[in-house]
Structure 1
Amino acid sequence: MAGRNSKNSGSAAGVTSDEARSPGAREVRNVALVGHTGAGKTTLVEALLATSGVVSRPGRVEDGTTICDYDEIETRQQRSVNLALAPLEYDGVKINVIDTPGYADFVGDLRAGLRAADCALFVVSTAAPLDGTTRLLWTECAAVGMPRAVVLTKLDHQRADYPGTLAACRESFGDNVLPIYLPDPDTGTASGLVGMLSRQLYTYSDGRRSEGQLDDAGHARVERARGELIEGIIEESEDETLMERYLAGEEIDLKVLIGDLERAVARGAFHPVLPVCAPTALGTVELLELMSGAFPSPAEHPLPEVTTVAGKTRTDLSCDPDGPLLAEVVKSTTDPYIGRLSMVRVFSGTLRPDMSVHVSGHFLAERGHEEHDEDERVGSLSSPLGKTQRPIPKAPAGEIVTVGKLSRAETGDTLSDPGDPLLMRPWDIPEPMLPVAITPRTKADEDKLSQGLSRVAAEDPTLRVENNPETHQLVLWTMGEAHTDVLLDRLAHRYGVHVDPIELRVPLRETLSGPGSGRGKHVKQSGGHGQYGICEIQVEPLPQGSGFEFVDKIVGGAIPRQFIGSVEKGIRNQMEKGTTSAGYPMVDIRVTLVDGKAHSVDSSDMAFQMAGALALREAAQAAGVALLEPFDEVSILAGDDDVGTVMSDLSARRGQVLGTEAIGQGRSLVRAEVPQTELVRYAVDLRAMTHGTASFTRTFSRYAPMPQHLAAKVLDHHPSP
């Protein structure tokens, strides 16, 4: 396939020199691989590197080390959890392949990869059903107009179903999803391809592509599909006469069709499908031709929204290596030997080693990241090959590189010229919804915990760290169980901080079940001045949200005026601590001070504070204590087919459905009020019941009485904090 900007040399060339020339923006392709775990993205990257000549054989560089090497955390977790950048060169075009995590917990990294890319390659396994998460991601890419193509993998698997998978993709992704190559059943679906436009046969029986001719039966098989493909290309053509000529029986020139196909792909109007089998290299040359020839360059992709640090919109920037510097930290990691490494996409200007840059981060304050604007000096620039970092002299607009020693820059931060500070809003970073309470394992871990968490949070904006002032617990808000495992692994093995998960405490409240009375007596003699304070109170519950009322009905000076406030202070202090073993704050009560006694010498502020606290505890025991639990308003976005399941589950969680709303594209929004105690693992459970296709948000709504049988369990099993 001839490229729009390629030299049409028809040969593959590997990136072999550290000091290789820096290609212009129109000679660069930034491609994000998107697909579910197990679809074969990493294996595909290895095959492309081998076909392009970067490595001698899939997965290996010349010294025998692995090219798509997992880091130590991925090895222990047995899953890809990081973005991986694999640069290669084909037909005079540099292609930065961004391998994104496929597991739902790491959708933040996936979206970071999409921000760095100019087009998306959806990798779909023919040996497994098309999953809901991939469908959602296709919709997200469509919403922002990102060009897309589809690769169907695992053709050599015993359960491979190419026709069924192709049909599922077309049904889910739309009519403009059409194959441009078909696997050839005569030569073997994992070793033969048929070019739909050229009617050419390509075989990969020895791992290399060789060309052949279709027989009459082969021609007959492809003609119907070929006609559909040509019509799809012509419908997106800028030549309005082309369809009329085609329907009149004219044979459209192959070069015209290929040119129109490439332009339609580049602007996101047409989405080609290619079969690829990484072990046999089937389709890898064709995929590289598509990437270099049809995928858009950075110069063709619009820049994200840019403002000054003060918020003024900038519209004068473009993908110009001579323009003002504008770059973004896509991913930050820490190497135990090298230190902080940042994957950076350059959108404008040119980044060079040792230059000074302005670092801006303004959008994650709600997750514990302080807004920051500071200048910093860039370290070395490099291009990764597995775990090897190859130095490069500069990174012009359109490039993605690894930058060393950006110690202050966090994931999502903007890099710009110190004399012209700029700011980009980061990609859509999902809100973490799984709370996990942790405690340091040892005193040494406690001393290192704060610094370790700050480093992890700087690398991962999907993490939110909360010090809950009510439950006195340190809570990590994560994307799911796999995300939690990776974070704790990273803390332990990268930063030497070991923590243990503990039971999460939901911040409940206490209130009174009814009216009551109590007497507080704090009398002590210990030589010299003693302690003497006695008070009697009456208590009653108030409507929810009323707060605290204190009524003074002391007559005759039973308690001197200067100690009335002391009694109230003691009662307020006890309310903050709670009156039960669970230790939850007491709210919404009225306390009436009706009587008391004082001593001319031994009475004091502290004595009457103690008396007030004792009186409240006695009165609460007499009146009975009820627990109030917090309710959140939850908004669940789910497929129409899952709405019934979601609503049934909400009822089982003691939730009250407030309403449902159809929002189009087969999805609905369900709103409900649900107790927080029932939402602790909802992020995990919702994903399981909807196969990863639903999402939710939550905001605090109100407090309401907890059922008596549940309150009894809480009081029995929760000691004071």
Structure 2
Amino acid sequence: MQDISRLRNVAIVGPHHAGKTTLVEALLAHCGAIPRRGSVRDGTTTTDCEPEAIDHLQSVCVGFAHANCVDVDLNLVDTPGFVDFFEETKTVLSAVDAAVVVIDAEPGRVAQTAALVEYLEMRAMPHLFFVNKLDRPGAQFDATLAALRSAYGAHVVATHLPIGSGETFSGYVDLACSKAFGSNGTVEEIPIPTALEGAAAAQRTTLLEALADFDDTLLEELLEGQTPTQDEIDRDLCEDCSHDQIVPVLVGSAEKGFGVWPLVDAIARLFPSPATEPRRDVDGRPVVPRDDGAVVAQVCKTIMHPQQGKLSVVRVFTGTLTPSSTIVDASRGNAPVRLSGMARLFGKKQEPVTSAGPGAIVALARLEGVGTGDTLASPNAGVLMPTVPLAEPSFAVAIAPKQRLDEAKLSQALARLLDEDPALRVARAEFTNELQLLGNGETHVTTATERLARKYNVDVTTHPPSIAYRETIQSPTEIHSRYKHQTGGHGQFADVHLRFEPRARGSGVTFAETIVGGVVPRQFFPAVEKGVREALASGGPHGFPVTDLHVTLFDGAFHDVDSSEASFKTASGMAVREALQKLGTVVLEPLMRVETTVPSTTMSAAVSQLTAKRGQILGFEPAEKTGWDRIIALVPQAELGRYATELRTATAGLGTYAARHERFEIAPERAVEAPA
């Protein structure tokens, strides 16, 4: 059984292209888990093993690995950094106890960590910053540290100070112990450079003052000019970091392996083991990690393997899980779950295991009906773990199989795709009835369609969602239409007088009859209405369905022998087409109520963006987060196709929005797309 006190479950998180996967490779190589580091550029890394990740040169889903070092056993979760995949990162964070936030030594990229760090702090999850790529030209540690402290507060403190930068990056000063070390991967101590003594002393004072905020004894010592002992500093640093009161900042270069062994040491000393802080269930009760007793685990990721089927990756919180364990899905009415195999994941490799105790992260094979976020537990355990709420998708494409024979196959493949990635949605469009695939950005949806082709052999076509344009009339008219057709047998005859009147926006099509004297028998009324509605739905002069009008049958005639439902339906359709041609129509476009949430500093850019999209600004209000604002606007749906991507560009990846249909309004002629 694994020693839980040695175990550290750590997520490697941060913005895209910050070097997270490269850092995982360096950690695995340092601990001897792999013979040499792989390369993202070459597609040889352990955790970026999906073909889509290799093709895009970035993580597009989470990856799992593990390593045993001298003082610690690591379960590493490599997460995607691109904002499109943030919901997956949030979900998998439920399986870990701490996080390493990887960021370039570039102050401008600090803003891209805002949503992630906010989520970590909301969960009070211990984390540290690893300032990466200090060997690159133009690396700016001081400015990056200042930006981190400005963004996240004085509890973000440097515990390392780099010696040099760019080509001169040659080591670091450990501020907690006032010692310097080289960057060659050894623990060999070197002298602190004279040029750095002043900066190191100042940063050490900042560190001690931050620790003193949570230790009255240390505060008194500092006020009295006493030098605290090394044991006291180390104890406070470990205690404060493990409770997310202090966020250390470390330095290094993942590509060259610099700073890796002090990072492993920091993970071992500063991050908690699964035994330190028990998780709490949905009722706030602690789930104490124990080897014996009831099993409680939670699915943090679902993987669909082309050959081996479904894998449910779970974090065990308490109890010992074995292939013979009796388990139920507590999230689905305690439905029985049959275990058929257990393994630890190491990239794309599966290493079979016979048991998994508290803190373990393992994959369970072929758990049909079990979804991401579900709680798996022993019967009568009475425990349900909290799930992570996911944001509503903001980007959609219309999707269809290239081959019509694949329609049923596409439906099954989409169900599996959503099982693997719950942040995706599949829906029928409200007005066009198109099948749409929705995700959290263009890259998210594109990757999903690539996965459909590779994993499920379903090639699809995609295009921007069709805009549900409508047409309507603006003045009333009356039309007399007669349909008469003689054949060899019974003929066809129908005569209708219809009145057309415009109605208010959103009223739709209504029909009534005011026939007196039985000039049109009652049994033909439904046929008249059906003919009217079908003709309006088939499109007006512009080719779009016609709406917001009232049609009244007020007169007509019939023939005892030749009149039929079909003839009255035909006559009514003829009347509609004549009326629309006579009156002319205007095109209506759907307006969306858009609520855009952005940092206050980007408010002006966001407003300009909406205005350029023919948006009507309705108002502003403060968002739930301090320093953020919400803009409420009405924007034509036709202008929102790439808004998610454009908004992120204008707000350093931070802006989000939600949209819902509000109403239809007359569209400018130049803005209307011809129907396909």
TM-score by length of 2: 0.93
Across the two proteins, how many residue pairs are aligned to each other?
A: 672
C-alpha contact 1:552 1:592 (8 A) present in aligned 2:
yes
Give 2:588's match in structure 1, choosing from 624, 628, 635: 628
C-alpha contact 2:483 2:495 (8 A) present in aligned 1:
yes
Partner of 2:561: 601
C-alpha contact 2:48 2:59 (8 A) present in aligned 1:
no
Distance 1:92 1:503, change over 3 A: closer
Alpha-carbon distance in 1 for matches of 2:498, 2:402: 45
Answer yes or no: is 1:267 the counterpart of 2:246. Answer: no
Distance 1:354 1:59, change over 3 A: farther
SS in 1 for 2:267: helix
Superimposed CA distance per residue, residues 339-377 of structure 1 (whole angstroms, 9 cap, x where no aligned partner): 222221223333222534333667xxxxxxxxx873331
Aligned AA for 1:235?
A: D
Distance 1:623 1:39, change over 3 A: same
Distance 1:670 1:211, change over 3 A: same
Partner of 2:603: 643
Cα distance, 1:316 vs structure 2: 5.8
Partner of 1:656: 616
Distance 1:69 1:512, change over 3 A: closer
Partner of 1:235: 213
Cα distance, 1:44 vs structure 2: 0.9
Cα distance, 1:126 vs structure 2: 1.2
Cα distance, 1:111 vs structure 2: 0.9
Answer yes or no: is 1:287 the counterpart of 2:263. Answer: yes
Distance 1:95 1:546, change over 3 A: same
Cα distance, 1:597 vs structure 2: 1.8
SS in 1 for 2:85: helix
Superimposed CA distance per residue, residues 291-316 of structure 1 (whole angstroms, 9 cap, x where no aligned partner): 1111122334453542xxxxxx4736
Give 1:345's match in structure 2, choosing from 305, 315, 330: 315
Unpaired runs of at least 5, structure 2: none
Aligned AA for 1:499?
A: V
Give 1:666's match in structure 2, choosing from 607, 624, 627: 627
Partner of 2:279: 303
Partner of 2:655: 694
Answer yes or no: is 1:331 the counterpart of 2:331. Answer: no
Partner of 2:642: 681
Cα distance, 1:709 vs structure 2: 4.1
Partner of 1:317: 287
Partner of 1:88: 67
Alpha-carbon distance in 1 for matches of 2:318, 2:483: 73
Alpha-carbon distance in 1 for matches of 2:337, 2:59: 31
Cα distance, 1:134 vs structure 2: 0.6
Partner of 2:675: 718
Identity %: 35
SS in 1 for 2:566: helix
Cα distance, 1:279 vs structure 2: 4.0
Answer yes or no: is 1:559 the counterpart of 2:535. Answer: no
Answer yes or no: is 1:412 the counterpart of 2:373. Answer: yes
Q: What is the RMSD of the two structures over their aligned residues, measured on CA atoms?
A: 2.6
Distance 1:117 1:151, change over 3 A: same
Partner of 1:462: 423
SS in 2 for 1:337: coil
Partner of 1:392: 353
Answer yes or no: is 1:138 the counterpart of 2:98. Answer: no
C-alpha contact 2:139 2:166 (8 A) present in aligned 1:
no
Distance 1:657 1:86, change over 3 A: same
Give 2:24's match in structure 1, choosing from 36, 42, 45: 45
Aligned AA for 1:210?
A: E
Cα distance, 1:175 vs structure 2: 0.9
Distance 1:361 1:618, change over 3 A: farther
Cα distance, 1:662 vs structure 2: 2.9
Cα distance, 1:394 vs structure 2: 1.7
Cα distance, 1:494 vs structure 2: 1.0
Moved more, 352-361 or 515-524: 352-361
Superimposed CA distance per residue, residues 48-77 of structure 1 (whole angstroms, 9 cap, x where no aligned partner): 1122222233339xxx97534522221222
Alpha-carbon distance in 1 for matches of 2:544, 2:258: 66
C-alpha contact 1:127 1:154 (8 A) present in aligned 2:
no
Partner of 1:5: none
SS in 2 for 1:48: helix
Give 2:7's match in structure 1, choosing from 22, 28, 42: 28
Distance 1:373 1:696, change over 3 A: farther
C-alpha contact 2:48 2:58 (8 A) present in aligned 1:
no
Question: For 1:483-502, what aligned pairs fall within 5 Å after superposition?
Answer: 483-502=444-463
Cα distance, 1:320 vs structure 2: 3.4
Partner of 1:530: 491
Aligned AA for 1:150?
A: F
Aligned AA for 2:20?
A: K
Give 1:619's match in structure 2, choosing from 573, 576, 579: 579
Give 1:178's match in structure 2, choosing from 157, 168, 173: 157
Partner of 2:341: 380
Alpha-carbon distance in 2 for matches of 1:316, 1:147: 18
Distance 1:425 1:233, change over 3 A: closer
SS in 1 for 2:144: helix
Partner of 2:387: 426
Superimposed CA distance per residue, residues 225-262 of structure 1 (whole angstroms, 9 cap, x where no aligned partner): 2222122212222xx23211232232211011101110
Distance 1:548 1:402, change over 3 A: same
Alpha-carbon distance in 2 for matches of 1:304, 1:628: 52
SS in 1 for 2:239: helix
Unpaired runs of at least 5, structure 1: 1-20, 307-312, 363-371
Aligned AA for 2:549?
A: I
Partner of 1:225: 203
Alpha-carbon distance in 1 for matches of 2:541, 2:276: 66
Give 1:77's match in structure 2, choosing from 56, 63, 80: 56
Alpha-carbon distance in 2 for matches of 1:112, 1:304: 16
Alpha-carbon distance in 2 for matches of 1:182, 1:115: 32
C-alpha contact 1:130 1:169 (8 A) present in aligned 2:
no
SS in 2 for 1:331: strand
Moved more, 639-648 or 661-670: 661-670
SS in 2 for 1:129: helix
Aligned AA for 1:141?
A: L
Cα distance, 1:215 vs structure 2: 6.8
C-alpha contact 1:154 1:277 (8 A) present in aligned 2:
yes
C-alpha contact 1:357 1:376 (8 A) present in aligned 2:
yes
Alpha-carbon distance in 1 for matches of 2:329, 2:560: 66
Alpha-carbon distance in 2 for matches of 1:547, 1:66: 57
Alpha-carbon distance in 1 for matches of 2:407, 2:331: 28
Distance 1:680 1:323, change over 3 A: farther
